[in-house]
Protein backbone atom coordinates (compact mmCIF):
# COMPACT_ATOMS: atom_id res chain seq x y z
CA UNK A 1 0.00 0.00 0.00
CA UNK A 2 2.80 2.37 0.81
CA UNK A 3 4.46 1.77 -2.56
CA UNK A 4 1.15 2.16 -4.36
CA UNK A 5 0.43 5.38 -2.50
CA UNK A 6 3.89 6.69 -3.36
CA UNK A 7 3.34 5.87 -7.05
CA UNK A 8 0.00 7.68 -7.02
CA UNK A 9 1.61 10.68 -5.35
CA UNK A 10 4.37 10.79 -7.97
CA UNK A 11 1.81 10.55 -10.77
CA UNK A 12 -0.10 13.51 -9.30
CA UNK A 13 3.09 15.55 -9.18
CA UNK A 14 3.89 14.72 -12.82
CA UNK A 15 0.39 15.73 -13.89
CA UNK A 16 0.67 19.00 -11.96
CA UNK A 17 4.02 19.78 -13.55
CA UNK A 18 2.67 19.02 -17.02
CA UNK A 19 -0.34 21.28 -16.49
CA UNK A 20 1.86 24.14 -15.38
CA UNK A 21 3.47 25.28 -18.65
CA UNK A 22 5.03 28.41 -17.16
CA UNK A 23 7.94 28.30 -14.76
CA UNK A 24 7.09 29.41 -11.24
CA UNK A 25 10.15 31.12 -9.88
CA UNK A 26 8.76 31.37 -6.33
CA UNK A 27 8.14 27.63 -5.98
CA UNK A 28 11.51 26.82 -7.50
CA UNK A 29 13.21 29.22 -5.13
CA UNK A 30 11.51 27.52 -2.16
CA UNK A 31 12.37 24.05 -3.42
CA UNK A 32 16.08 24.73 -3.73
CA UNK A 33 16.39 27.10 -0.81
CA UNK A 34 15.53 24.23 1.58
CA UNK A 35 17.55 21.28 0.30
CA UNK A 36 17.69 17.93 2.12
CA UNK A 37 21.48 17.60 2.23
CA UNK A 38 23.78 19.99 4.09
CA UNK A 39 27.47 20.30 3.38
CA UNK A 40 30.03 22.49 5.05
CA UNK A 41 31.66 24.83 2.56
CA UNK A 42 34.14 27.57 3.50
CA UNK A 43 33.53 29.56 0.30
CA UNK A 44 33.19 33.28 1.07
CA UNK A 45 33.57 32.50 4.74
CA UNK A 46 30.14 30.84 5.03
CA UNK A 47 29.86 27.55 6.95
CA UNK A 48 27.16 24.94 6.70
CA UNK A 49 25.94 26.02 3.29
CA UNK A 50 23.14 23.73 2.07
CA UNK A 51 23.63 22.17 -1.34
CA UNK A 52 21.12 19.95 -3.12
CA UNK A 53 22.63 19.51 -6.60
CA UNK A 54 26.06 18.19 -7.43
CA UNK A 55 28.34 20.27 -9.62
CA UNK A 56 27.70 18.34 -12.84
CA UNK A 57 23.93 18.61 -12.56
CA UNK A 58 24.36 22.27 -11.68
CA UNK A 59 26.17 22.93 -14.96
CA UNK A 60 23.34 21.30 -16.93
CA UNK A 61 20.73 23.17 -14.92
CA UNK A 62 22.51 26.49 -15.40
CA UNK A 63 22.88 26.00 -19.17
CA UNK A 64 19.19 25.17 -19.49
CA UNK A 65 18.17 28.30 -17.63
CA UNK A 66 20.58 30.39 -19.67
CA UNK A 67 19.42 29.13 -23.07
CA UNK A 68 15.71 28.43 -22.48
CA UNK A 69 13.74 30.58 -25.00
CA UNK A 70 11.19 31.65 -22.38
CA UNK A 71 13.78 32.41 -19.74
CA UNK A 72 13.24 35.93 -18.47
CA UNK A 73 15.67 37.88 -16.30
CA UNK A 74 14.37 36.55 -12.95
CA UNK A 75 14.69 32.91 -14.05
CA UNK A 76 18.11 33.58 -15.56
CA UNK A 77 19.27 35.24 -12.35
CA UNK A 78 17.94 32.38 -10.26
CA UNK A 79 19.70 29.83 -12.45
CA UNK A 80 22.96 31.76 -12.11
CA UNK A 81 22.63 31.96 -8.34
CA UNK A 82 21.71 28.28 -8.07
CA UNK A 83 24.76 27.33 -10.10
CA UNK A 84 27.01 29.46 -7.91
CA UNK A 85 25.51 27.92 -4.80
CA UNK A 86 25.81 24.30 -5.92
CA UNK A 87 29.27 24.67 -7.42
CA UNK A 88 30.86 26.86 -4.78
CA UNK A 89 28.60 26.69 -1.76
CA UNK A 90 27.52 30.33 -1.96
CA UNK A 91 24.32 31.07 -0.11
CA UNK A 92 21.41 31.86 -2.42
CA UNK A 93 20.23 34.63 -0.17
CA UNK A 94 23.69 36.18 0.06
CA UNK A 95 24.30 35.86 -3.65
CA UNK A 96 20.94 37.37 -4.47
CA UNK A 97 21.67 40.31 -2.22
CA UNK A 98 25.08 40.92 -3.78
CA UNK A 99 24.12 40.44 -7.41
CA UNK A 100 20.91 42.41 -7.49
CA UNK A 101 20.84 44.95 -4.71
CA UNK A 102 18.60 47.21 -6.77
CA UNK A 103 15.68 44.85 -7.27
CA UNK A 104 13.76 44.66 -4.01
CA UNK A 105 12.78 48.01 -2.60
CA UNK A 106 13.99 50.48 -5.15
CA UNK A 107 11.89 53.54 -5.82
CA UNK A 108 10.06 53.93 -9.12
CA UNK A 109 11.87 57.11 -10.00
CA UNK A 110 15.51 57.99 -10.30
CA UNK A 111 16.10 61.59 -9.41
CA UNK A 112 18.27 64.13 -7.75
CA UNK A 113 17.06 65.80 -4.61
CA UNK A 114 19.41 67.96 -2.64
CA UNK A 115 22.44 66.28 -4.14
CA UNK A 116 21.35 62.72 -3.32
CA UNK A 117 20.59 59.73 -5.46
CA UNK A 118 17.52 57.95 -4.15
CA UNK A 119 17.47 54.20 -4.64
CA UNK A 120 16.49 51.15 -2.62
CA UNK A 121 13.48 52.71 -0.95
CA UNK A 122 15.24 55.86 0.14
CA UNK A 123 18.71 54.54 0.85
CA UNK A 124 21.42 56.72 -0.63
CA UNK A 125 23.70 55.19 -3.22
CA UNK A 126 27.41 55.90 -3.39
CA UNK A 127 28.05 59.56 -4.02
CA UNK A 128 29.87 58.81 -7.27
CA UNK A 129 26.74 57.41 -8.89
CA UNK A 130 24.96 60.75 -8.51
CA UNK A 131 27.28 62.25 -11.08
CA UNK A 132 25.82 60.23 -13.97
CA UNK A 133 22.21 61.41 -13.49
CA UNK A 134 20.91 64.05 -15.89
CA UNK A 135 20.80 67.52 -14.36
CA UNK A 136 17.95 69.50 -15.91
CA UNK A 137 18.93 72.65 -14.02
CA UNK A 138 21.77 73.38 -16.46
CA UNK A 139 21.10 76.18 -18.92
CA UNK A 140 23.26 76.96 -21.93
CA UNK A 141 24.69 80.45 -21.99
CA UNK A 142 22.92 82.94 -24.23
CA UNK A 143 24.74 84.69 -27.03
CA UNK A 144 27.12 83.48 -29.73
CA UNK A 145 28.87 80.15 -29.24
CA UNK A 146 32.64 80.20 -28.68
CA UNK A 147 34.58 79.53 -31.91
CA UNK A 148 35.77 75.98 -32.54
CA UNK A 149 39.53 75.67 -32.27
CA UNK A 150 41.07 72.79 -34.19
CA UNK A 151 43.55 70.46 -32.50
CA UNK A 152 45.74 69.82 -35.52
CA UNK A 153 47.83 67.17 -33.80
CA UNK A 154 44.69 65.05 -33.35
CA UNK A 155 43.56 65.75 -36.92
CA UNK A 156 46.89 64.50 -38.29
CA UNK A 157 47.11 61.46 -35.98
CA UNK A 158 43.52 60.37 -36.63
CA UNK A 159 44.03 60.75 -40.36
CA UNK A 160 47.21 58.66 -40.29
CA UNK A 161 45.51 56.03 -38.12
CA UNK A 162 42.64 55.56 -40.54
CA UNK A 163 44.97 55.48 -43.55
CA UNK A 164 46.94 52.76 -41.74
CA UNK A 165 43.70 50.92 -40.93
CA UNK A 166 42.71 50.98 -44.61
CA UNK A 167 46.09 49.51 -45.50
CA UNK A 168 45.50 46.86 -42.83
CA UNK A 169 42.21 46.06 -44.57
CA UNK A 170 44.14 45.54 -47.82
CA UNK A 171 46.59 43.22 -46.03
CA UNK A 172 43.78 41.22 -44.41
CA UNK A 173 43.79 38.43 -47.06
CA UNK A 174 47.51 37.93 -46.45
CA UNK A 175 47.12 37.44 -42.70
CA UNK A 176 47.30 33.91 -41.32
CA UNK A 177 44.32 32.38 -39.53
CA UNK A 178 46.19 32.64 -36.22
CA UNK A 179 46.70 36.36 -36.80
CA UNK A 180 43.00 36.86 -37.53
CA UNK A 181 42.10 35.05 -34.32
CA UNK A 182 44.65 37.14 -32.42
CA UNK A 183 43.13 40.31 -33.92
CA UNK A 184 39.69 39.27 -32.69
CA UNK A 185 41.10 38.50 -29.23
CA UNK A 186 42.75 41.93 -29.05
CA UNK A 187 39.51 43.57 -30.21
CA UNK A 188 37.47 41.85 -27.50
CA UNK A 189 40.11 42.36 -24.80
CA UNK A 190 40.45 46.08 -25.50
CA UNK A 191 36.68 46.38 -25.85
CA UNK A 192 36.11 44.94 -22.38
CA UNK A 193 38.54 47.51 -21.03
CA UNK A 194 36.10 50.15 -22.26
CA UNK A 195 32.71 48.52 -21.69
CA UNK A 196 33.16 46.44 -18.54
CA UNK A 197 35.98 48.61 -17.25
CA UNK A 198 35.97 52.36 -17.65
CA UNK A 199 32.28 52.53 -18.58
CA UNK A 200 30.23 50.22 -16.37
CA UNK A 201 32.68 49.90 -13.48
CA UNK A 202 34.53 53.19 -13.13
CA UNK A 203 32.10 55.65 -14.72
CA UNK A 204 28.84 54.29 -13.31
CA UNK A 205 29.95 52.10 -10.37
CA UNK A 206 27.27 49.63 -11.46
CA UNK A 207 29.15 46.73 -9.88
CA UNK A 208 32.19 46.12 -7.70
CA UNK A 209 35.35 44.47 -8.95
CA UNK A 210 38.14 42.76 -7.05
CA UNK A 211 41.72 43.99 -7.33
CA UNK A 212 42.78 41.33 -9.90
CA UNK A 213 39.77 42.14 -12.09
CA UNK A 214 40.47 45.88 -11.86
CA UNK A 215 44.07 45.28 -12.94
CA UNK A 216 42.86 43.14 -15.86
CA UNK A 217 40.40 45.82 -16.97
CA UNK A 218 42.97 48.60 -16.60
CA UNK A 219 45.40 46.71 -18.85
CA UNK A 220 42.61 46.12 -21.36
CA UNK A 221 41.74 49.80 -21.21
CA UNK A 222 45.32 50.74 -22.07
CA UNK A 223 45.14 48.49 -25.12
CA UNK A 224 41.96 50.35 -26.17
CA UNK A 225 43.85 53.71 -26.01
CA UNK A 226 40.84 55.99 -25.53
CA UNK A 227 42.25 58.20 -22.78
CA UNK A 228 43.16 57.01 -19.31
CA UNK A 229 40.46 55.74 -16.97
CA UNK A 230 40.27 58.92 -14.90
CA UNK A 231 39.76 61.29 -17.85
CA UNK A 232 37.40 58.92 -19.69
CA UNK A 233 35.17 58.39 -16.64
CA UNK A 234 35.09 62.11 -15.82
CA UNK A 235 34.04 63.05 -19.36
CA UNK A 236 31.47 60.27 -19.46
CA UNK A 237 29.85 61.42 -16.24
CA UNK A 238 29.66 64.92 -17.68
CA UNK A 239 28.06 63.42 -20.79
CA UNK A 240 25.30 61.80 -18.73
CA UNK A 241 24.81 64.74 -16.42
CA UNK A 242 24.50 67.30 -19.23
CA UNK A 243 23.57 65.16 -22.23
CA UNK A 244 22.94 66.98 -25.54
CA UNK A 245 23.96 70.40 -24.22
CA UNK A 246 27.06 72.56 -24.59
CA UNK A 247 28.43 70.79 -21.51
CA UNK A 248 28.23 67.41 -23.26
CA UNK A 249 31.69 66.51 -24.66
CA UNK A 250 30.16 64.84 -27.75
CA UNK A 251 26.84 66.65 -28.05
CA UNK A 252 24.88 64.74 -30.73
CA UNK A 253 22.69 67.75 -31.54
CA UNK A 254 25.76 69.16 -33.32
CA UNK A 255 25.56 66.39 -35.91
CA UNK A 256 26.77 62.86 -36.54
CA UNK A 257 30.35 63.80 -37.43
CA UNK A 258 30.87 65.91 -34.33
CA UNK A 259 29.39 63.26 -32.01
CA UNK A 260 31.40 60.52 -33.71
CA UNK A 261 34.92 61.92 -34.08
CA UNK A 262 34.72 65.68 -34.53
CA UNK A 263 34.66 66.35 -30.79
CA UNK A 264 38.17 64.90 -30.57
CA UNK A 265 39.48 67.20 -33.29
CA UNK A 266 38.56 70.48 -31.56
CA UNK A 267 39.07 72.07 -28.18
CA UNK A 268 36.46 71.25 -25.57
CA UNK A 269 33.62 73.69 -25.04
CA UNK A 270 34.34 75.78 -21.91
CA UNK A 271 31.21 74.37 -20.23
CA UNK A 272 32.53 70.82 -20.60
CA UNK A 273 35.69 71.78 -18.74
CA UNK A 274 33.79 73.79 -16.13
CA UNK A 275 31.28 71.04 -15.35
CA UNK A 276 33.99 68.39 -15.31
CA UNK A 277 35.86 70.28 -12.59
CA UNK A 278 32.73 70.37 -10.43
CA UNK A 279 32.17 66.61 -10.43
CA UNK A 280 32.84 64.53 -7.36
CA UNK A 281 35.64 62.17 -8.41
CA UNK A 282 37.04 61.04 -5.08
CA UNK A 283 36.14 57.43 -5.86
CA UNK A 284 38.46 57.50 -8.88
CA UNK A 285 41.23 59.26 -6.99
CA UNK A 286 40.99 56.67 -4.21
CA UNK A 287 41.38 53.75 -6.61
CA UNK A 288 45.07 52.85 -6.74
CA UNK A 289 44.65 50.96 -10.02
CA UNK A 290 43.11 54.01 -11.69
CA UNK A 291 45.81 56.37 -10.50
CA UNK A 292 48.65 53.96 -11.30
CA UNK A 293 47.37 53.62 -14.86
CA UNK A 294 47.06 57.40 -15.09
CA UNK A 295 50.70 57.88 -14.05
CA UNK A 296 52.02 55.29 -16.51
CA UNK A 297 49.42 55.67 -19.24
CA UNK A 298 51.67 56.61 -22.17
CA UNK A 299 54.07 53.73 -21.59
CA UNK A 300 51.20 51.26 -21.11
CA UNK A 301 49.61 52.40 -24.39
CA UNK A 302 52.84 51.97 -26.37
CA UNK A 303 53.30 48.46 -24.99
CA UNK A 304 49.70 47.19 -24.96
CA UNK A 305 48.07 49.00 -27.87
CA UNK A 306 50.90 48.73 -30.39
CA UNK A 307 53.84 46.49 -29.39
CA UNK A 308 51.99 43.49 -27.93
CA UNK A 309 49.45 43.14 -30.79
CA UNK A 310 52.32 43.36 -33.30
CA UNK A 311 55.05 41.28 -31.62
CA UNK A 312 52.94 38.29 -30.53
CA UNK A 313 52.05 37.09 -34.08
CA UNK A 314 55.52 37.98 -35.38
CA UNK A 315 57.36 36.06 -32.64
CA UNK A 316 55.09 33.05 -32.04
CA UNK A 317 53.96 32.06 -35.52
CA UNK A 318 56.19 34.02 -37.87
CA UNK A 319 53.74 36.58 -39.18
CA UNK A 320 55.33 39.39 -41.19
CA UNK A 321 55.88 42.60 -39.27
CA UNK A 322 53.83 44.57 -41.81
CA UNK A 323 50.75 42.38 -41.40
CA UNK A 324 51.26 42.15 -37.63
CA UNK A 325 51.46 45.92 -37.29
CA UNK A 326 48.66 46.97 -39.63
CA UNK A 327 46.07 44.23 -38.93
CA UNK A 328 46.01 43.41 -35.17
CA UNK A 329 47.63 46.77 -34.52
CA UNK A 330 46.15 49.68 -36.46
CA UNK A 331 43.09 48.05 -38.06
CA UNK A 332 41.95 46.52 -34.77
CA UNK A 333 42.55 49.80 -32.94
CA UNK A 334 40.61 51.86 -35.50
CA UNK A 335 37.70 49.41 -35.48
CA UNK A 336 37.48 49.53 -31.69
CA UNK A 337 37.58 53.32 -31.70
CA UNK A 338 34.77 53.57 -34.23
CA UNK A 339 32.68 50.99 -32.38
CA UNK A 340 32.91 53.16 -29.27
CA UNK A 341 32.23 56.35 -31.21
CA UNK A 342 29.08 54.83 -32.73
CA UNK A 343 27.61 54.75 -29.24
CA UNK A 344 28.04 58.53 -29.08
CA UNK A 345 26.79 59.17 -32.62
CA UNK A 346 24.55 56.49 -34.16
CA UNK A 347 23.01 55.41 -30.84
CA UNK A 348 22.04 59.05 -30.20
CA UNK A 349 20.45 59.54 -33.63
CA UNK A 350 18.96 56.31 -35.04
CA UNK A 351 16.70 53.82 -33.28
CA UNK A 352 13.67 53.55 -31.00
CA UNK A 353 13.16 55.13 -27.61
CA UNK A 354 10.97 52.61 -25.77
CA UNK A 355 11.95 53.74 -22.27
CA UNK A 356 12.16 57.53 -22.54
CA UNK A 357 11.05 59.41 -25.65
CA UNK A 358 12.10 62.74 -24.12
CA UNK A 359 15.84 62.04 -24.56
CA UNK A 360 17.94 61.49 -27.69
CA UNK A 361 19.69 58.16 -26.94
CA UNK A 362 18.21 55.22 -28.89
CA UNK A 363 18.15 51.43 -28.92
CA UNK A 364 20.47 50.40 -31.76
CA UNK A 365 21.15 46.64 -32.16
CA UNK A 366 23.92 47.17 -34.72
CA UNK A 367 25.82 49.37 -32.28
CA UNK A 368 25.18 46.82 -29.53
CA UNK A 369 26.82 44.14 -31.68
CA UNK A 370 29.90 46.16 -32.66
CA UNK A 371 30.39 47.69 -29.20
CA UNK A 372 29.83 44.33 -27.41
CA UNK A 373 26.67 45.41 -25.63
CA UNK A 374 26.64 49.20 -25.50
CA UNK A 375 23.95 49.91 -28.09
CA UNK A 376 20.90 49.71 -25.82
CA UNK A 377 21.38 53.37 -25.22
CA UNK A 378 17.87 54.60 -24.46
CA UNK A 379 17.74 52.08 -21.64
CA UNK A 380 21.21 53.03 -20.45
CA UNK A 381 20.49 56.75 -20.23
CA UNK A 382 17.18 56.00 -18.50
CA UNK A 383 18.78 53.62 -15.98
CA UNK A 384 22.51 54.47 -15.95
CA UNK A 385 23.16 52.51 -12.76
CA UNK A 386 22.19 49.13 -14.30
CA UNK A 387 25.31 47.01 -14.78
CA UNK A 388 23.87 45.32 -17.89
CA UNK A 389 22.98 48.59 -19.71
CA UNK A 390 20.08 46.57 -21.12
CA UNK A 391 16.84 44.96 -20.01
CA UNK A 392 17.61 41.74 -21.84
CA UNK A 393 20.69 40.39 -20.08
CA UNK A 394 23.28 38.84 -22.39
CA UNK A 395 21.41 39.29 -25.68
CA UNK A 396 23.86 41.08 -28.02
CA UNK A 397 25.67 41.95 -24.80
CA UNK A 398 28.96 40.11 -24.42
CA UNK A 399 30.02 42.55 -21.71
CA UNK A 400 27.14 41.49 -19.46
CA UNK A 401 28.07 37.83 -20.01
CA UNK A 402 31.66 38.68 -19.03
CA UNK A 403 30.58 40.46 -15.83
CA UNK A 404 28.26 37.56 -14.97
CA UNK A 405 31.20 35.19 -15.41
CA UNK A 406 33.32 37.36 -13.12
CA UNK A 407 30.53 37.26 -10.52
CA UNK A 408 30.39 33.49 -10.84
CA UNK A 409 34.15 33.30 -10.27
CA UNK A 410 33.88 35.59 -7.25
CA UNK A 411 35.82 38.44 -8.87
CA UNK A 412 32.85 40.83 -9.11
CA UNK A 413 29.94 41.53 -6.77
CA UNK A 414 27.07 43.93 -6.11
CA UNK A 415 25.76 44.12 -9.67
CA UNK A 416 23.00 46.72 -9.64
CA UNK A 417 19.87 45.82 -11.64
CA UNK A 418 16.52 47.44 -12.40
CA UNK A 419 13.34 45.57 -11.41
CA UNK A 420 10.77 44.53 -14.00
CA UNK A 421 8.13 46.66 -12.26
CA UNK A 422 10.33 49.74 -12.44
CA UNK A 423 11.00 49.17 -16.14
CA UNK A 424 7.31 48.62 -16.91
CA UNK A 425 6.33 51.78 -15.06
CA UNK A 426 8.90 53.82 -16.98
CA UNK A 427 7.82 52.39 -20.33
CA UNK A 428 4.23 53.28 -19.59
CA UNK A 429 5.10 56.79 -18.43
CA UNK A 430 7.68 57.99 -20.95
CA UNK A 431 8.13 55.31 -23.66
CA UNK A 432 7.57 56.00 -27.36
CA UNK A 433 5.28 52.99 -27.81
CA UNK A 434 7.84 50.88 -29.71
CA UNK A 435 8.74 48.56 -26.84
CA UNK A 436 9.50 44.96 -27.80
CA UNK A 437 10.12 42.40 -25.07
CA UNK A 438 13.24 40.36 -25.70
Average pLDDT over residues 301-317: 98
Has residue 41 got a pLDDT over 80? no
| Contact (CB, 8 A) for 249 and 357 | no
| Contact (CB, 8 A) for 138 and 247 | yes
Looking at 31-35, 73-77, 223-227, which range is the least confident one?
31-35
Looking at 83-87, 93-97, 350-354, which range is the least confident one?
93-97
pLDDT digits (tens, 9 = 90+) for 101-132: 333 333 334 433 333 333 433 333 344 456 67
Confidence class of residue 49 from pLDDT cuts 50, 70 and 90?
Answer: very low
Q: What value does the mean pLDDT of the chain take?
A: 80
Spatial separation of the C-alpha atoms in residues 248 and 274, rounded to whole Å: 11
pLDDT digits (tens, 9 = 90+) for 370-389: 999 999 999 999 999 999 99
What is the pLDDT at residue 7?
60
Q: Is the pTM of this model over 0.85?
A: no
What is the pLDDT at residue 111?
35
Confidence class of residue 332 from pLDDT cuts 50, 70 and 90?
Answer: very high
What is the pLDDT at residue 2?
56
Q: Give the highest mean pLDDT range of 38-42, 50-54, 132-136, 419-423.
A: 419-423
What is the pLDDT at residue 22?
41
Confidence class of residue 5 from pLDDT cuts 50, 70 and 90?
Answer: low
Spatial separation of the C-alpha atoms in residues 159 and 144, rounded to whole Å: 30
Q: Check residues 140 and 205 and name the one with the higher pLDDT.
A: 205
Confidence class of residue 145 from pLDDT cuts 50, 70 and 90?
Answer: confident
Q: Check residues 126 and 412 and name the one with the higher pLDDT.
A: 412
What is the pLDDT at residue 133?
76
Amino acid sequence: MCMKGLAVEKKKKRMANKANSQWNIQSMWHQFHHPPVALNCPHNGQQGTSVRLNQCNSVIFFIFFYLHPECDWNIYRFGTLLFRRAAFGTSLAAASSSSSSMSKTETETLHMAGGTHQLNGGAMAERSTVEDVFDDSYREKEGPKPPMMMVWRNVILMSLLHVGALYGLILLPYASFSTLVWTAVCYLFSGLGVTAGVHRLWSHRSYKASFPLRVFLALANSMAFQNDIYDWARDHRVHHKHSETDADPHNATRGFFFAHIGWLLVRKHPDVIEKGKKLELTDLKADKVVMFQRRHYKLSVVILCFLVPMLVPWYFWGESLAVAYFVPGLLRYALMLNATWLVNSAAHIWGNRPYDKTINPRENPLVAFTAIGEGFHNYHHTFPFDYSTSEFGCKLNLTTAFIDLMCFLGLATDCKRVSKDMIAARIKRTGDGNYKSG
